[in-house]
Homo-oligomer: A and B are copies of this chain.
Amino acid sequence: MTSKPVDLYLQPGTQDRTQITRNALVVTALKLFGTKGFDATSTRQIADASGANIAAISYHFGSKENLRIEVARSVAAHMGQHGPVRASADMDNEAIQGLSPEQARSMIRQHIKIALDRDSLGPLADDILQFFHVEMTQESPVVDILFDNALKHSHERMCRLVSRLNGEAWDSEKTKVAALMIFAQVMVFDLVRPVVLRSMGWDKIGPQERDTILDAAWIN
């Protein structure tokens, strides 16, 4: 329950049966929850697709709902260490204070570019982010896990950067909304992908399409 989250990527030489099973269940659930949704995914589908027995879910995680939480903890932990969130940890608040508006703007652009970049998340990047996006739209215990561990810090850093641009306090309502809107611009294209594909005439949102999106993002 309160133990270390399951690693989304097992080190190649792992022999531990338990670890392998738990990883398979979490990764499979990550994919199915992200694509079909939590409610539309049955425990049997997860078990079959991960090569485990149905009872394994109850045994290792207690319940389907707990598996969902474990997936969220794994995702949050992984993003915190390797993903876009990690990038914001490199700057400290005092350094931002001294930034010129032009420097801040540049860092914001870089920040957004990293947020769009999926390479840092590994081969599961698409699955991780799809799960992330889906869960963000629903009120559930999972939101708190993702927000506290992967969003809060990143948003605050963005607020401090935006503050250098608009001159307002970093924790003012205006600044906070502006910071959210910067993330929103690139995030929304994944959130409403079905509509985006139809509007744009695309058949997927790949690296090329993401460049187009990034070019259109407004950071002024």
Contact = CB atoms under 8 A, between A and B. Distances in A.
A199 B174 CA distance: 12
A195 interface: yes
Contacts of A155: 199
Contacts of A178: 216
B151 A180 contact: no
SS of A interface (majority): helix
Contact of A37 (B37, B176, B184, B189): B37
For A37, A140, A177, A185, the residue with the greatest tally of chain B CB atoms inside 10 Å of its CB is A177
Nearest to A179: B199
A90 interface: no
Contacts of A121: none
A178 B216 CA distance: 6
Interface size class of A (residues with CB under 8 A): 35 or more
Contacts of A96: none
A144 to B, nearest CB: 8
Contact of A199 (B151, B189, B191): B151
Contacts of A140: 194
Interface of A: 37, 39-40, 133-134, 136-140, 143-144, 146-147, 151-152, 155, 173-174, 176-178, 180-181, 184-185, 187-189, 191-196, 198-200, 212-213, 215-218, 220
